Each structure stands twice: as C-alpha cells, then as structure tokens.
Structure 1
Amino acid sequence: MTTATTEVLISGAGPTGLFLALWLTRLGVRVRVADPRSGPVRETRAIAVQARTLEFYDQLGLGEEALARGRHFDRLNLFVRGDLRGAVRFRGIGDDLTPHPYLYILTQDQNEEMLAQHLAALGVRVDWETEVTGFTGDEGGVTATLEREGRVETVRASYIAGCDGARSLVRHVVGVPLSGGTYEQRFYVADVELGGKVREGDVNLVLSGDDFLAFFPMPEPRRHRVVGQLPPGTPEDATFDLVRPRIEADGLARVGQLHWFSTYRVHHRVADHFRAGRAFVLGDAAHVHTPVGGQGMNTGLGDAANLAWKLAGVLRGGNAELLDTYEPERRPFAVSLVNTTDRVFTGVVGHGAAARAFRLGVVPTLLPVLARFGAVRRLLFLTISQTRLHYPDSPLSVGHAGKVRGGDRLPWVPHRGGSNFDALKSLSWQVHAYGGADPELLAWCERWGVPLHVFPYGAAARRAGLEPCAAYLVRPDGYVGLAAPRLEVRALDAYAARWLTREVQASPAPVPVLAH
C-alpha cells in the first residue's frame, strides 16, 4: 500500500471530470483523476456542445480546436408520417448574443480526447483502470482508497469531486439520494450512415402515431445519430435489425453502415444535494435526464466551470463560504432542466389518445406558426444554448447597472479586433467598464490587484444593456458578480473582502487600464 497527496481528487474522467481537472490545473491546483475505464470513450454517446460550453472552451484556449473537430447546424425539421411539416431556423437569431450563434456537434469521444490531450500537455495524466473504492472525510480533507489491478493506494486530498456518473460512488458514500424516476419506455440510439429524405446537416424530428425518431447530424458527412423508442415488449437483447424497418418507414431514410447501437432507459433524477462536506457531485452524478435536448454533457461542463474557480479560490486562502454557493447556483438549474425536458419528453413519447393528439395535431400545427416569430426562436436559442442561465439568487450576485444584474452572464460585446470575452481567458476576477472609468475605480483595482478592462461604449454595448461608465466586477467563470452604476468604494470593498482570495488581498499589484 502506498500513500499520496493532492489538493482535489476527481473520481471519473468523462467530459465533466476532465474539464474540472483542466480548469483547476490552469489555476495552479494539484489534481488527481481516476477512472476505472481503460481510456476515453470510443462511442459517440453525447453529441452536442452548446454556445455556453464553447464560450468556456474559448476561456481555456480550446475553442479553435473544438471548432476544427465538429460541425455546425442551425435548422430543425419536423416530419409527420414521412412528410415535412415545418422547420425552425436559428441562423442569425443569436448573432448579437454570443460568438457562437449556432448549434454545434462535437461528440463525447471527441470532447474527452481533446480534454485529455490538453490535460496531458499540462503534465496531468489520468489514472486509467483505477477506481476510487471509498473515502472518509474530516475537517482537514478526505482520505480515499484507489485500486488498480489489485494494488491499493491511499490518497489524501483537500476535496473530492464525484464526476463518476449516475451510479456515483462519491454520492453513495455521502448518502445523498438521486431523487426522481425512470420512464417506463425503453429507447435506442444508433450511429449510422443514412440517405433518403432526411436532410443532411440538419436535425430531423419524425413523429407518427405511436413512435418518434430524432436524427442528429454527426461531424462526418451522411452520418447521423438516430434516437428512437422501442416497441413495448421488446426483448432486452434487441438488435439494430429490430428497429431498422422503423427508421426506413415512409421512405424517410435508407440505412447504410451501422457504427454503434445501444438500448437504454431514460431517467429524470436530481441529487438532493450537490455538496456534502468536502465532497461534491457534478454531471451525471448530480442530474440525469433525456439526452434528446443536447443538454446533459453541457450541464456537467457548466457544473465544472462553476466549481473549479471556487475550489481554487478557497485552496488559495479565500472564504470557505465560496463553496457554499455551488449547490444553490447549479442545483436549481438542474431541477428546472429535468422538469422541462420531462414535460416535453412525456408529451412526445407518451402513450394514449392525448399523447397521440399532441404528436400529430398540436406539434405540427403550432411549430410552423411559432417558428415565424423571431422572439420565439430567440428564446428557444437562449434556452438551448444555455446563454440564458443566470444566478440571480446567489449570495455572489449583487446590484444592477443598466439591464445587467449581478448573477447574469456577462453580455458579449464585440469590438474591433476581438470582444470583451477575450479578457476572460485570464480565468481571474476582473472589472469591466464601458465608455470610460472613474479614476477612483483604477485606484481600487490597483489596491485589490484586480485587472480593469475599459471598452468603448457603442451600439453593441447599448444593445447588451450595459450602462456607460458603470463598474462590473466579473467572476472567473464569466458571470457578473457585482454591478454598480456609480462607484461605491465601500460596497466594492465589502464584496471583495468577502469573496476575493486572501492571496489577492495580501499582494495587490498595479493594474493598468486596458482600453480596447
């Protein structure tokens, strides 16, 4: 038996665990990542990354590589009994909201490979074929046991993060239930090459009397992810041959090569708590729901982005209360997401006359009408892209200036040569001002060692609801912590004294005004 120490032990090396490890490592935190698998997944599994995830990738310097690996799509087509009945186009609807105004296909295996490579480049290698088998906690940290090929290692860490899926050992050890239920229906997922009426490069939703199909474009041409419902009474060992006729019904698709096929049940569950002492749960360990909306992997990555900088701040001497904000910020979103997808999914896949009427009557009638309204398409994009997610009730969220409130995602403001999001790559607290800054604000930033970025106040800033010459104290994850229309040094001091790390407070450095 050997012993080792680290600052954060991460159980699970899926996208959430790898992303958490990468962000922490970039902040100088020592991490250890263990996973019982032999390496990153080879199946496509989750397939979409949303705009908010791509913004996080940009912060870590992964954005260009992510965009080189996947493909965009901006249209959803609705077929009913083989006939095209409507479409929703997203092109142009989010051009002023995000540098990524589209929906994007980047599969789970691609995400894991990219994240693991960047983590290895920073000197951190995942302990594959290594399982966290248990741990105990005390006031100073956690002591965990890791097993690999019969060898046992004891690891002492300040914190443990459970990124280990729906059957999370970390969640089980701390006794936190994953509350919710499981749909009675069984579903299948297939990765295939297709021809036929299915439109290449678009998402295609197909409804019929007792069935639904969803076709998602994959990064490779003519390759699609197909999600469908298995007929009642289907044996547990069902093969692709059983569902192939359903996919090819009404001449909608012609199946070519099959790359992957699996059956599964869909759960709708959320952990009762996301934190227990020095243990945290993220991703599928904290919430599971239908994969059809393309939200699951993205929500786990959002969990990691939220927790990473907080762990780093506390480990570097910050207020331990910072970690208390993880659950109240992330769990309400998970609950809302599960409830929303549950209602929509039940309407689409349910049995009975009401569900049939919803599939064949309500959806085909309303979708073409609603799709004509830009406000509806914009709201749909904001929701799917997760750029609408905000934390208004968090203790970290204070004040408002213009239309921007504490807890809002920092609005994206492009300017000549870049945007205000470029400053977020520092992964640090920072102050933004638009159209000028009070000299006292520069003095405050110098005293606290916080960078000050001053941007022009033009049409883009005005549309975003930013107020000229106001101060926006921005968190490391790109959300506004404090928004102040007028300089109030006492309020800024009180906020910084509570939430900024002691390391920053103890060693302030001169910080220039950066005009963009």
Structure 2
Amino acid sequence: MTAPHDIDVLVAGAGPTGSTLAADLLRRGLRVRIVNKAPHAFEGSRAKGIQPRTQEVLEDFGVLREALAEGGPYPLAGLHLGPVTAPWKMQQRNKPTPDVPHPNILLLPQHRTDAILHRLLERLGLAIDYGVALEGFEQGADGVTSTLSTGERVRSKYLVGADGGASAVRVATGLGFVGETDDSDKTLIIDGVIDGLSRDRWHMWPRASAGACPLPHSDQFQVMIRLKPGDIPSLDHGALAEKFHGLTGLKLRDITWTSVFRPNVRLVEHYRQGRVFLAGDAAHVHTPAGAQGLNTGVQDAYNLGWKLGQAIAGAPDSLLDSYEAERLPIAAGVLGKSSELYKSLSKHRVAGLKRGDEERQLGLTYHGGPLAPAAAPATKTLHVGDRAPDAPCTGPGTKRLFDIYQGPHFTLLAFGPAATAALSDLPWPAAGAELRRYAVRGGRGIDNDYITDDTGQLTRIYGVEGDALILIRPDGYIGSIITADWEASFVAAANAFTPM
C-alpha cells in the first residue's frame, strides 16, 4: 500500500522563481514546502530589473506596491568618455495607458525582490527551510520521494526544481543542459558605496569596461567590471577598491556583496520529467543584458502554479505537458535576445545599451501552442494565448479589469446579449480553481450582475464586435474566445483546464 503524501508540492530553491511558485500554490490551498540550500536569503543586488509583465504578476499577488516603494525608475546612462560625460537614454519612458498600467522597467535589487516575496510567504503561513538541500529523489506513479540533507524523506505529489543554474534537481533528472559557458569572459559584480559619484546616472566607462548603477533608497551602487581574458579575479575588498580606482579614479568602499559572473547561456532539453519540473535558472540561464533572467523565471512559476493546482484537483495530465510547450520557446527566444545584447556590449556598440518593447515581455504569447490553437476564433485585437490586457470598467469594488482578474481564479467575460444570456448556465466543476463570470454592458451604473464599460475602452481594447465569451486563465492570458455554440464550445475549451 502506498504511503500517503506528506505534501502536494516540494519546491527546491527560494529565489524569485521558487518563492513565486510557492506563493501561487499556497493561495490555491495546497500543501507546500520550500527548501533552500543556502543558509540564508540572497544578499546581493544581482538581477535588478523588474519588467512590466513581471510587475503585473506582482500586482496579482498583492505586492506591487511594496516593490514600487522599495524600487525606483532606471536613471539615464552617463557615458564617461575621457573628460566628457554624455547622457544617454537606454530606454523610452512610457506613460501608463488603459491596457498597460505599468509600462516601464522597475529598478529593484534582487535581495529586495526576494524579501518582498518571502514576506508574502510568511503572510500565507509558510516558512522557508534554509540550509536544507535536496540530495536526490525517486519517482513513482503517484508521487516523488525526495531525500533532504537533513536526512528527511519527503513524499510529495510533485517536485519543482527552482534551485538555480547548478540545480541539483536538474542534475538528478539527467536532462541535458545545452549551451555554452565562456570561462575566459568574467565580470565582477560589486555592491558598495562610491564617493563623489552622482546618483542620477547609470555611469558607464566604455573604455574601461566598467559601470556603476545607483541602487534606489540607499547610498550603494551596483558596480560591474569586465575582466580581460586571463585576469584572475580577487574578491578581496581592498583589491576590488584598488582596481575600481585604477579604472575610474573613484573611491569604492563599504562593500557588502561580490560575485564573479561568467556568460552562461544554456537551456534544458525538457522542463518536465514525470512528476518533476524545472523552472527559472534551473531550466535556462542567460547573460545579464536586458534584465530577462529573473523575469522569465518568475513567469515560468506563474505559468506552472495554476496548472499544478488544476492537475492536483483532477485536470488532465496534458495540462502539465503544456508548461514545457508554452515556456520553453519563450526561454529560447529570451536567450537569443539577451545574447544579442551582450555581444553588442562586448563590442562597445551603443545598440547594446538600447532597450525596447521586446524586453518588457508584454507581447509574449502562447498563441499556436497546445492550449491556444492557431485556428481558434480571435477578436480584432486578441488571439487565444495572448496576454489579457487591463481596461477601465466599473463594477462592485472595481474600476479596472486587473482588479477583477486578481486572484487564483479563472474569469469569464460575456459581451453582447446572446453571450450574456448563456453566461449563467455554462457548467464548471466544483473542484479546482473557481470561475468568476461577468457580463459586460455599455452605458452607466453599477450592480452585482454586470461590469460596465462606461467609456467604451474595454470593448475597444479587447477588439470585440458583436457577441463573444472570453475566458481568462489564472495567469492572465486568454484561454478561449467563443463566438457561437456557447455551451458546447465552452465545455470543449474548459475540458483542457479543469478536472474531468
């Protein structure tokens, strides 16, 4: 007889990816444990750029205000060219729009991102087990038995490796980690104070291959120094300060964190092996250019969390297969983009400093994947698999769609009288994530049965003409667009997401 499972999901790694996943699983009422090999939380600034799409994820979890309070906007670059310092705009500052409320990258040191997510876990009742490593696991037909460095054997329905580029979970699976690591190319990353340097610029010394970015709400900078081939890095604080002074003439002091970065561009061959999944750096590692790695990992977790919840409730196993099918192509594309930017920087090209819409990750789509067939109905502006945009509306306690989407549920919007008439009779299982239904009407007024598109912007942004049902997945992507045969079409779409 099989022993009962101790928990639903064991998460290895408590960085941004693992913490996001654990939080999403907890809000679905699942039994979760998260272990972290390091003895304490990460202490450095390392991945410091939070892209607009990731800000939307943080808003869904209710922690975006904390992130905005602890972060700040990216400053203009200041290019030090001999005695001249030239300002340079790395990226366009965009104004919020009704469909994109958070259009600009947020400067937030990684240790603060971790702390925000860790406080969320605490509020959800979960403590991180620090100093506990996963040493191996065995899979069975109905679960995973993991061996921890404490000697414990933990039974879980699923195991997720979010334990970084050297992932013990990935190594234990035997899955290939395809790519390259250039051991001759090293960059020092340092958190410290720099005397006499203005904090209104991201300072760059192209000829010295050095840079210093001011970290918000502190007196620190993140310093990056590209080493020459053959240089042997020393992390002694005095040696680092002397090296920085020799390159820039400035005094670096009060160093709190150091690291040596090597360009490591790798992608795992599969994101899933049975009941074991990989996410974040355990599945893909990037160059630092373009601030993509942390963001891609958080969105891995956001994609996987609701699918694990639904599978545990009885949804078809094919839903879990869609995790790799949707996220692996995204990671491959991000690897290519970050590598392209890094090569431009390596050649001191100004193009390597430019950032645009692609890095913001708002246009990433799952259209054409297993949950979003290319032939599915579309509106004038949206396909199945696209990000569900925000839009103004009025309803009980809300003024925008993102308020309605916030939480672990599915959302169904009905446009037009025929779709509205069908809305309440559409079947949805009691198990798994709930379905929240809203009829959209024009005009003015608030009542419990409708959300009101009193400006017309919601209908315009969603590109709806006539009657339509639009199903929004828990991760904020379009799950289905239905324009006819309401019940039959809805049931066919829902069967891919829900318990049978």
Give the TM-score taking structure 2 as reference length.
0.86
State yes or no: 1:194 paired with 2:194: yes
Match of 1:385 among 338, 348, 360: 360
The 10-residue stretch of structure 1 (181-190 or 474-483) with the greater mean CA deviation from structure 2:
181-190
CA 258–324 in structure 1, closer or farther in 2 if over 3 Å, else same: same
**Structure 1 position 126, deviation (Å):** 1.7
The 10-residue stretch of structure 1 (387-396 or 276-285) with the greater mean CA deviation from structure 2:
387-396
Give the corresponding residue for 2:173: 174
Residues 130-166 of structure 1: per-residue CA shift (max 9 Å, x gap): 1111101121111111122xxx111111110001111
Structure 2 runs not aligned, ≥5 long: 441-450
CA 429–116 in structure 1, closer or farther in 2 if over 3 Å, else same: same
**Structure 1 position 4, deviation (Å):** 6.7
**Structure 1 position 232, deviation (Å):** 2.6
State yes or no: 1:301 paired with 2:301: no
Give the corresponding residue for 1:404: 382
- Partner SS state of residue 451, structure 1: strand
CA 363–319 in structure 1, closer or farther in 2 if over 3 Å, else same: same
The 10-residue stretch of structure 1 (398-407 or 466-475) with the greater mean CA deviation from structure 2:
466-475
Give the corresponding residue for 2:107: 105
**Structure 1 position 249, deviation (Å):** 7.2
In the alignment, the residues of structure 1 paired with residue 245 and residue 458 of structure 2 have an alpha-carbon distance, to the nearest angstrom, of 50
Structure 1 runs not aligned, ≥5 long: 350-354, 372-379, 503-516
**Structure 1 position 385, deviation (Å):** 2.1
In the alignment, the residues of structure 2 paired with residue 465 and residue 246 of structure 1 have an alpha-carbon distance, to the nearest angstrom, of 54
State yes or no: 1:282 paired with 2:279: yes
- Partner SS state of residue 467, structure 1: coil
Q: Which amino acid aligns with 2:160?
A: A
- Partner SS state of residue 263, structure 2: strand
Match of 2:475 among 474, 477, 481: 477
CA 86–147 in structure 1, closer or farther in 2 if over 3 Å, else same: closer
Residues 378-434 of structure 1: per-residue CA shift (max 9 Å, x gap): xx4432222121111221114311210111010121346531011122211111245
The 10-residue stretch of structure 1 (21-30 or 38-47) with the greater mean CA deviation from structure 2:
38-47
Alignment of 1:30-429 (within 5 A): 30-73=31-74, 75-81=76-82, 82-84=84-86, 86-148=88-150, 152-183=151-182, 184-194=184-194, 200-208=199-207, 211-237=208-234, 239=236, 244=241, 247=244, 255-349=252-346, 355=347, 359=348, 363=350, 380-397=355-372, 398-415=376-393, 418-429=399-410
Q: Percent identity?
A: 29
- Partner SS state of residue 401, structure 1: coil
Contact 1:70–1:105 (Cα < 8 Å) also in 2 = yes
Q: Which amino acid aligns with 2:350?
A: V
Residues 211-269 of structure 1: per-residue CA shift (max 9 Å, x gap): 43343331224422122201232224354555657755786865454332222312011
Residues 341-390 of structure 1: per-residue CA shift (max 9 Å, x gap): 112212321xxxxx3xxx2xx527x98xxx8xxxxxxxx44322221211
In the alignment, the residues of structure 2 paired with residue 331 and residue 196 of structure 1 have an alpha-carbon distance, to the nearest angstrom, of 45
In the alignment, the residues of structure 1 paired with residue 379 and residue 226 of structure 2 have an alpha-carbon distance, to the nearest angstrom, of 48
CA 437–93 in structure 1, closer or farther in 2 if over 3 Å, else same: farther
Give the corresponding residue for 1:432: 413
Q: Which amino acid aligns with 2:194?
A: L
Contact 2:390–2:402 (Cα < 8 Å) also in 1 = yes
Give the corresponding residue for 1:450: 435
Q: Which amino acid aligns with 1:323?
A: L
Q: Which amino acid aligns with 1:428?
A: H
In the alignment, the residues of structure 2 paired with residue 246 and residue 461 of structure 1 have an alpha-carbon distance, to the nearest angstrom, of 55
Residues 259-293 of structure 1: per-residue CA shift (max 9 Å, x gap): 32222312011111111111101111001111232
Residues 269-323 of structure 1: per-residue CA shift (max 9 Å, x gap): 1111111111101111001111232211111111110000000000001111100
In the alignment, the residues of structure 1 paired with residue 114 and residue 98 of structure 2 have an alpha-carbon distance, to the nearest angstrom, of 30
In the alignment, the residues of structure 2 paired with residue 390 and residue 433 of structure 1 have an alpha-carbon distance, to the nearest angstrom, of 22
**Structure 1 position 330, deviation (Å):** 0.8
- Partner SS state of residue 146, structure 2: strand
Over aligned residue pairs, what C-alpha RMSD do you find? 2.8
Q: Which amino acid aligns with 2:404?
A: A
Contact 1:205–1:214 (Cα < 8 Å) also in 2 = yes
CA 77–433 in structure 1, closer or farther in 2 if over 3 Å, else same: farther
Q: Which amino acid aligns with 1:213?
A: A
Give the corresponding residue for 1:17: 18
In the alignment, the residues of structure 2 paired with residue 188 and residue 437 of structure 1 have an alpha-carbon distance, to the nearest angstrom, of 62
Contact 1:162–1:285 (Cα < 8 Å) also in 2 = yes
- Partner SS state of residue 138, structure 2: strand
**Structure 1 position 57, deviation (Å):** 1.4
- Partner SS state of residue 270, structure 1: strand
Q: Which amino acid aligns with 2:344?
A: G
In the alignment, the residues of structure 2 paired with residue 434 and residue 239 of structure 1 have an alpha-carbon distance, to the nearest angstrom, of 64
Contact 1:48–1:104 (Cα < 8 Å) also in 2 = yes
In the alignment, the residues of structure 1 paired with residue 68 and residue 87 of structure 2 have an alpha-carbon distance, to the nearest angstrom, of 31
Q: Which amino acid aligns with 2:158?
A: Y
Contact 2:77–2:87 (Cα < 8 Å) also in 1 = no
Contact 2:205–2:248 (Cα < 8 Å) also in 1 = no
In the alignment, the residues of structure 2 paired with residue 64 and residue 432 of structure 1 have an alpha-carbon distance, to the nearest angstrom, of 27
Q: Which amino acid aligns with 1:501?
A: P
**Structure 1 position 73, deviation (Å):** 2.7
Q: Which amino acid aligns with 2:50?
A: V
CA 444–206 in structure 1, closer or farther in 2 if over 3 Å, else same: farther
CA 36–261 in structure 1, closer or farther in 2 if over 3 Å, else same: closer
In the alignment, the residues of structure 1 paired with residue 52 and residue 194 of structure 2 have an alpha-carbon distance, to the nearest angstrom, of 27
Residues 56-76 of structure 1: per-residue CA shift (max 9 Å, x gap): 111111122222222223644
Give the corresponding residue for 1:377: none
